[in-house]
Structure 1
Amino acid sequence: MKLLQLLSATLLVITSSCHTNAPAAEEKTAATGTPVTVANPETGNMEDAVVLNATSSFLLKTYVKAVANGYLQAANIKLGQHVTRGQLLFSLKTKEAENLGNTINKLDSSFRFTGLIPIKAPGNGYITQLATQAGNYVQDGEQLATISDDNSFVFVLNLPYELTAYIPKNNTVEVLLPDGQKLPGHMESPLPTVDSVSQTQNYVIRVHTTKLIPENLIAKVRLLKSLKPNAVFVPKAAVLSNESQSEYWIMKMLDSTTAVKVPIQKGMESDNKIEVLSPPLTAQDKILISGNYGLSDTATVSIVNK
């Protein structure tokens, strides 16, 4: 009997202790608040820009052709090779020259008649197509190779026609290659056609580089639409909106533990920042950039970064 009374008393003490500590723990959590991180508004230049694709291309391609019917005695080039103007590419010999040469050499061996017709490069560039090889019979006018001219290498920008008004502001642009390399470029005259489906016009961008860039490489070109100096902006993560994106707001620290909802008028968006047109913000303000989603108008928070 005494043992049962002792066990009952012990359970009563434990139960009372649990009920006493639970509210204390809840009060401690409530006092701590939602953990958040904050950042300060910044002032600087804001740019409104659009990024478009540009494709590398050789505008001028020269076709090397046979000048007579005959056999190619030698082919001194290979695909991808760089050639210079006047460089010997092929040696061509006609059947008539072969027969005439044998007859003349029999009459006078010192004459050394070869009858070879040299075919030389008309300009500087890369061999981008090779259609034949030594020993093949070719006909007059048949294409033997294609040379992509060095001086004709450009990037062709596919520009939506409604953006042509911004071209005068972007005579000098930067071409970003897929490997991260940036090339300075100069915007030249547009091609006098517009794609009937996409309504885009091609603009030629001339770049200066000694690096071999393959044709049909897609690069990025950033066109500046407008520039606003001394703009006040916050990180993109700080700006919240309703489902229809008709209202925007930020959560701003009122004191060390309280955050309040502040409706804003949004301006430009650039990279990972958003301009705040109103209300006025200062560099001393603390704006929530994480933990802000779903907070009430006046919320108790705990700043985890200083």
Structure 2
Amino acid sequence: MFMTQLLFRLLTSATGALLLAACQSSGDAPATDEAEAAAPRAVVTVGQVRADTLRDVLRLSALSAYPAKDILRATTTGYVLGPTPVPGQAVRAGQTVFRLQTKESRVLHLDRLTGDPRLKFSGIIAIPSGRAGVLSAVDKLAGDFVQEGEQLGVVYDRSRFGFLLDVPVTQLRFVHPGQSCRILLPDGRTLPGRVAEALATADPALQTQRYTVRPTGPVPELPENLAVQVELDRTAPRRAPTLPRTAVLTDETQTQFWVMRLLNDSTAVKVPVARGPEQGDRVEIQRPRFGPQDRILLTGNYGLDDTAAVQLSK
């Protein structure tokens, strides 16, 4: 009888312990699931690899210039008469820009003696422009006394406007006369251009050779010595897969590159890539070859580990 009661008590204790453990485990499961569901997820946007036309571009600095210009000089000693021209004024070839009165004419008032038909010389000398262009500088004003040969102003020939391009000797094989190029202005505008000619001199200190570049389309009003960028294609255009620059991640030394690809709607995995050159905000992806079904993280990918939990942005 005693043995039967002892066995009954042992069975009762074991059953109670098993029931208690089952209750505890069933009570912890919802808490674990809720914790996993409440874990923070990175909000990301996704996109696909796109085929773009890429160019291997050589970008160099250049300065705007008016290589053809006329310096208007006084042909006699005298005084400048009004009206005085203003800088920026357009002039025609042969148009009178300045007028001078000789000092003898001013003393004798020859310009006022109109009644004597034998007087053929009034002492007024016209200084015309030798070419059509723009008056870029005015050095003398009405009433100024000038000596013979003194500079009065400068006329730029706008039809010969261009840019001076200094090419390093290590890049000379990529530049040749007649080559098309793109001229990037500081305000964001782009002008089509063409390499005109090479000057037969090189800078001994910088080891650069100078070329002239001419715009091939309409030219806006630009001053001289304006710094611009000139782009030349080193190779023919080619089609290549690209991704936005923000999609390609790298380490501190920029020796390893990778992208984050969606494995499913909630998990992103790390995929090493071999990247090519950049063009604008696009980066060439040389390896691996992604398909149109591959979804690549474009934003929200920074700092994510492999197999990171993510949430698609709505």
SS in 2 for 1:245: coil
Change (3 A) 1:99 1:169: closer
Tell me by how many angstroms 1:141 deviates.
Answer: 1.3
**Whole-Å Cα distance in 1 between the matches of residues 239 and 129 of structure 2?**
57
**Counterpart for residue 90 of structure 2:** 82
Change (3 A) 1:34 1:142: closer
Q: How far has the Cα of 1:181 moved from its partner?
A: 3.2
How much has 1:229 moved relative to structure 2? 2.7
Q: Give the 3 Å change call, closer, same or farther, for CA 180–248 of structure 1 in structure 2.
A: closer
Secondary structure of residue in 2 paired with 1:226: coil
Alignment of 1:104-119 (within 5 A): 109-113=116-120, 114-119=122-127
Give the structure-2-normalised TM-score. Answer: 0.78
Does the alignment pair 1:29 with 2:51? no
Aligned residues of 2:52 and 2:240 also touching (Cα < 8 A) = yes
Distance 1:262 1:72, change over 3 A: closer
1:232-243 equivalence runs, <5 A: 232-243=241-252
What is the CA–CA distance in structure 2 between the aligned matches of 1:83 and 1:164, rounded to whole Å? 39
Deviations 1:138-188 (A, max 9, x none): 222111211122232112223333222222498122223233333222211
Pairing partner for 1:46 from 51, 54, 66: 54
TM-score normalised to the size of structure 1?
0.80
Q: RCO higher in 1 or 2 (8 Å CA, sep ≥ 6)?
A: 1
Q: Residues 63-93 of structure 1: CA distance to partner in whole angstroms, max 9, x if unpaired?
A: 1111222233445522221111111122333
**Matching residue within 245, 268, 274 for 2:254:** 245
Matched, 1:157 2:165: yes
Pair 1:166 & 2:159 matched: no
Give the share of equivalent positions with the same residue, in percent: 34
Q: 1:275 aligns with which of 277, 284, 297?
A: 284
Runs of 5+ unmatched residues, structure 2: 1-27
Q: Distance in 1 between matches of 2:161 and 2:282?
A: 36
1:137 is matched with which residue?
145
What letter is aligned with 1:239? V
Equivalent AA in structure 2 for residue 57 of structure 1: A
The 3-state SS of whatever aligns with 2:297 is strand
Pairing 1:64-75 to 2, within 5 Å after superposition: 64-75=72-83
Q: Which residue of 2 aligns with 1:147?
A: 155
8 Å CA contact retained: 1:54, 1:158: yes
Residues 125/196 of structure 1: CA separation in 2 closer, same or farther (3 Å cut):
same
SS at match of 1:254: strand
RMSD: 3.1
Distance 1:274 1:210 in 2: 32
| Greater C-alpha Rg | 2
* Cα distance, 1:97 vs structure 2: 4.7
After TM superposition, give the deviation of residue 259 of structure 1 in Å. Answer: 2.0
Partner residue, 2:191? 183
Between the aligned partners of 1:101 and 1:279, the Cα distance in structure 2 is 90
Give the deviation of 1:230 after TM superposition: 3.2
Shift of 1:226: 2.9
Gaps of 5+ in 1: 1-18
**Conserved 8 A contact 1:169-1:224:** no
| Conserved 8 A contact 1:105-1:111 | no
